[in-house]
Amino acid sequence: YGPWSERRGFDSLVQVATGIAAVEGSMEQPGALPAQALDHGTGYLLAAEVLRAVREQSYDGGSRCVRLALARTAQWLMEGVPGESAGAIGGYGAAGQVTQAAYDGPDAWLAETDSGIGRLRYARSPVSFVDGPVDWARPPGRWGVDSARWE
């Protein structure tokens, strides 16, 4: 969907096309995010949208259509970068039109905690429910510290 719907690409190409490579790079060469953040971010949004759709369906039945795009996720990320914009993408919502309307800035979605590896800033869970947990049970630790078992 959206103005780029007939174009095919992947995370790294979308980073270049939306200006992320310019922001992350230098005058000599383009840069990139340290991970395939658009793939990961779009997947995170997809998981949240599926959970929202299932919840809404439990109230009134019917079906839902969830549409996401790497380019829209890139635009959403770039909105907080002063002087930069991925505005050529258009006004299509990464997780539907509700996402843009409900966006309150990054602080609404972030939290901080102390951990064994220092002070961490992290993304809050995309879902909540009555009598459910309001945060993760514990912060992450160093790699390899936890045993491979379910608790």
Q: What is the pLDDT of residues 50-82, one digit of tens each?
A: 988 998 899 898 899 998 989 889 988 888 655
In a domain, 150, yes or no: no
Residues near 99 by beta carbon (within 8 Å), at least 6 away in sequence: 45, 76, 93
* 84 belongs to a structural domain: yes
Structural domains in the chain (count) = 1
**94 is written with which tokens?**
């990464």
Residue 96 DSSP label: B
In a domain, 4, yes or no: no
In a domain, 36, yes or no: yes
Query: For residue 1, is it within any domain?
Result: no
Give pTM, 2 decimals: 0.55
d(CA 69, CA 93): 8
Task: Determine, yes or no, domain membership for 117.
Answer: no
Helix (H, G, I), strand (E, B) or coil at 130: coil
Full residue range of the structural domain in which residue 99 is found: 11-103
Cβ–Cβ < 8 Å for 47, 54: no
pLDDT band at 119 (very low <50, low <70, confident <90, very high): very high
